[in-house]
Each structure stands twice: as C-alpha cells, then as structure tokens.
Amino acid sequence: MFGFGAKIDDHPNHCFAMTPPEGADGVDGMIEAYRNVVSGVQLWGPTNFAPTIAAASQIASQFQTQESQKYFVLLILTDGVITDIDQTKAAIIAASHLPLSIIIVGVGPADFTDMNLLDSDDGFLSHGGSTAVRDIVQFVPYRDYAGSPEKLARATLGEVPGQMLSFFKSVHFSPNPPRQ
C-alpha cells in the first residue's frame, strides 16, 4: 500500500510505503497501516499520480508469466485535482501492457474533469504519440454514489473483470491447472 501527497521530514513525497515490509493482513491491517502512517505525516500537495503508478507497474511487471498469473488493482483515493496529468498519462500508457488495473476514486468537491481524461471508455488513452494497448483505468466520483454502497461497488469494480480478461487474452495466457 502506497501513500502520496504528503510532507515527510519536511520534504514533499509523491510515493511512499504505507505498509511494513511484511505487508498488511486484510482490510483491517490496511486500515491500521494507514492510521499509523497518516498520524506521522502532513498531507501535502501537489497531487501527482505518476510516481505511484510507476511503483505499482514495477511490481506488476514481475508477474507477467503463464505460471504466476497474478493481476493487480491499484486503487487511488484522492481529494485533489491531478497536477501531473502528462506524466500520469505516460505512466498509464506504459502500464497498459501489464497485469494491472487502476481505479481512481475522487472524494470531495474538487473538479475531477481531468480524471475522466484518464478513463478510456471512449477510446484508448493517447499522449505524446503513444497509445495504450488496452483500457486499464476506471474513474469514479464518490459523490455520485455516496448514498448507495452497492452502486459505488458496481461502478468502482465493474470494469476490472473485463480489463483482467483483456490482459490475459493479449498475452495468450490460459488458466493454470488447479493446485493440489
């Protein structure tokens, strides 16, 4: 679990570990890790996503084999307007060939117009002459679903199965036999 947009030791940090090296145990462990880290940092702008996407991409790149068949979902919760849109577009395009989906949930009253640019519902993301090989981003404005947890879950997770299948088809992976 990564954090971003904090001032640590008087320096802005756009991607820092929030879990101990051994990881967190389930949702409760993640919440505990979040509380432990947030109490010791000062939330700070700007809102840069590219470093966190690059860190998730580095992890996902280690599991691109028929044998491992791991797939990763990066969930970004943000209350800020993205400030590194060009770098984020490039990071998403670079990650589009990896076993990775990115879900961005915008919370609060900010103008999230740029987030919709990252979601490839109307065509694959392009930037600087490069185009994503598949759609890997889902943006959800929390305020549109705040009264309905079921609708929020459906909107947040609805594209992940198709994104995962598109990855496995693109690399021609077939299901591994059941483990004994």
Domain ranges of the chain: 1-45, 47-180
Backbone angles phi, psi at 77, to 5 degrees: -105, 125
Chain-centre distance of CA 125, in angstroms?
A: 15
Chain segment 51-101, per-residue pLDDT in tens: 999 999 999 999 888 788 889 999 998 887 889 999 999 999 999 999 999
Backbone angles phi, psi at 36, to 5 degrees: -65, -40
Give me the pLDDT at residue 116, please: 84
Cα-based distances in Å from 20 to 31, 120, 149: 13, 34, 30
How far apart are the two ends of the chain, measured CA to CA in Å? Answer: 30
Q: Is the pLDDT of residue 21 over 80?
A: no
Give me the pLDDT at residue 51, please: 94
Question: Model confidence at 29, in pLDDT bands (50, 70, 90)?
Answer: confident
d(CA 45, CA 6): 7
> Which region among 16-25, 69-78, 140-149, 159-168 has the lowest average model confidence (pLDDT)?
16-25
> Which region among 16-25, 73-82, 139-148 has the lowest average model confidence (pLDDT)?
16-25
Give me the pLDDT at residue 19, please: 80
E strands along 42-125, which residues?
A: 42-43, 72-78, 100-106
